[in-house]
A and B are shown apart, each in its own frame.
Chain A
Amino acid sequence: EIVLTQSPGTLSLSPGERATLSCRASQSVSSSYLAWYQQKPGQAPRLLIYGASSRATGIPDRFSGSGSGTDFTLTISRLEPEDFAVYYCQHYGSSPLYTFGQGTKLEIK
């Protein structure tokens, strides 16, 4: 079973700063099936990145994804006020079929 570990648990930054969120897999995974989501309080998650580095439709280009093997990164180049939320990475594999990381809360400093 693949486990995704996200770090840090909480990231405190100011608008305009750069955010770097990490997702580490317990074993090597296919980049094709690594995705990132944003979730704001009281809302459903929103797909940001798929295939480790492809932005979903309508996602601003300040969001970017990178990585391969066991280490993946979501970068937000310049934080906007609306970017403060919880972020999850997710992998599609075998058993279980889908795995989520525990989330990183991005909060305003």
Chain B
Amino acid sequence: EVQLLESGGGLEQPGGSLRLSCAASGFTFSSYAMSWVRQAAGKGLEWVSRISSSGGSTYYADSVKGRFTISRDNSKNTLYLQMNSLRAEDTAVYYCATSDYGRFQDWGQGTVVTVSS
């Protein structure tokens, strides 16, 4: 059974940093591209970032480019999202998801990030 477990969310001040993690199990993590998708309270889904299976290619939404960095450690079956220069508008539930073939097949349960002073 595929399991994706996010962690690292919390309350951070504007301008601060957070590092999210997503621990994967139940599938060959190193064979799959992975993404982060976020959802502000009461709002729709927004794709944030994607990383290839090897980690060699990364992609970002314009809203986070230059501030967020996606990475992965295939030896630890873990996906990361380093979030710097946080803004109030980054407040959301952050989901990790497998993202091959143009779709998000499996999702974690999400971790809540709140940016507020």
Q: A residues engaging B (CB < 8 A)?
A: 32-33, 35, 37, 39, 43-47, 50, 56, 88, 90-92, 96-103
CA distance A50 to B35 in the complex (A): 17
Q: B residues engaging A (CB < 8 A)?
A: 35, 37, 44-47, 50, 59, 61-62, 95, 99, 101-110
Q: A92-B102, A92-B103 are in contact. Are A44 and B110 (CB under 8 A)?
A: yes
CA distance A44 to B5 in the complex (A): 12
List 12 other contacts, CB 8 Å, given A88-B44, A98-B104: A33-B103, A39-B45, A45-B104, A46-B107, A47-B104, A90-B104, A91-B102, A97-B50, A98-B35, A99-B47, A100-B47, A103-B44
Q: Which of A44, A88, A91, A103 contacts B95 (CB 8 A)?
A: A44
**A17 CB → nearest B CB, Å:** 25
CA distance A37 to B95 in the complex (A): 14
A88 contacts B107, C-beta separation under 8 Å = no
A98 contacts B50, C-beta separation under 8 Å = yes
**B35 CB → nearest A CB, Å:** 7
CA distance A97 to B60 in the complex (A): 8
* Residues of B with C-beta under 8 A to A90: 45, 103-104
A100 contacts B45, C-beta separation under 8 Å = yes
Q: Which of B62, B95, B103 contacts A50 (CB 8 A)?
A: B103
CA distance A101 to B104 in the complex (A): 14
CA distance A31 to B45 in the complex (A): 20
* Residues of B with C-beta under 8 A to A39: 45
* Residues of B with C-beta under 8 A to A35: 102-104
- What 3 pairs across the A-B complex have the smallest Cβ distances? A92-B102, A98-B47, A33-B102
B45 contacts A32, C-beta separation under 8 Å = no
A97 contacts B47, C-beta separation under 8 Å = yes
CA distance A58 to B50 in the complex (A): 26
Interface centre among B59, B106, B107, B110 (most CB of A within 10 A): B107
